[in-house]
Amino acid sequence: MPGSLKTEAIVLRGIRYGEADRVLHLYTPERGRVSAIAKGVRRAKSRFGGRLEPFFRLNLVLYQGKSDLMTVTSAETVAGHPRLREHAATIDGAARACHAVDRLFGDGEPHPGVYHLLANLLALLDREPQHATRANALAFRLKLLLAAGFAPHLASCASCGEPEHLVGFSGAAGGVVCGACEAGSFALSQEGHDFLVAALGLPLAEAPDAGPAALQQAERAILDTLEHHAHVRLRGVGAR
């Protein structure tokens, strides 16, 4: 049904199209990920100015014609995150976060929680660039897993329910596993386990830190969970 859609959106990525246009991947609270074309946006005098760039949070009017690709008809800035763009580490953190949302939530299913989580992360990186850490990027991904319904089981053995002697993590089992069920798992230290629990439970701005080995285990836990349950492979979060 042709018509206009008014929505908030975060620009995940832009792809050059034709001579002066750009196709945008947008994340919206009510429609999930949508694609829209911004016509003439790469011309110097575009009426959109520099607003239709990755990491912008916008109020948009999109026109939906007969095709799946909508057209941007107006754009107002809610938050441009200018300070985020001043540091390589915050740009990298924001880019990896947008890429993860683009990959994991590209099916058009709405997840308002994902929208608010991404908006929170971008605002945090803009306000306090020191949060562009590996630990914070992992905490963000854990929260994405939770929003997608793939949160790892951390309170007891994911295979047999044993509450103690949890020694490994298994993506296939869906969480931590005990000594009797450790086949197919990798070793998870107490520090790595504690990090996963705290990172899932605390707000992003309070995400805990941990040593490099524990963060490495946490990253592997996240990637294994994604591969087994979402059939998605993501790039790592970077070495910071």
Which residues of this chain interact with Zn ion, rule CB under 5 A? 157, 159-160, 162, 178, 181
Dig out the tokens for 24 from the structure.
């945008």
Distance of closest approach, residue 181 Cβ to Zn ion, in angstroms: 3
Distance of closest approach, residue 148 Cβ to Zn ion, in angstroms: 25
Distance of closest approach, residue 1 Cβ to Zn ion, in angstroms: 52
Distance of closest approach, residue 142 Cβ to Zn ion, in angstroms: 22
**Max CA-CA distance within the chain?**
66
Distance of closest approach, residue 164 Cβ to Zn ion, in angstroms: 10
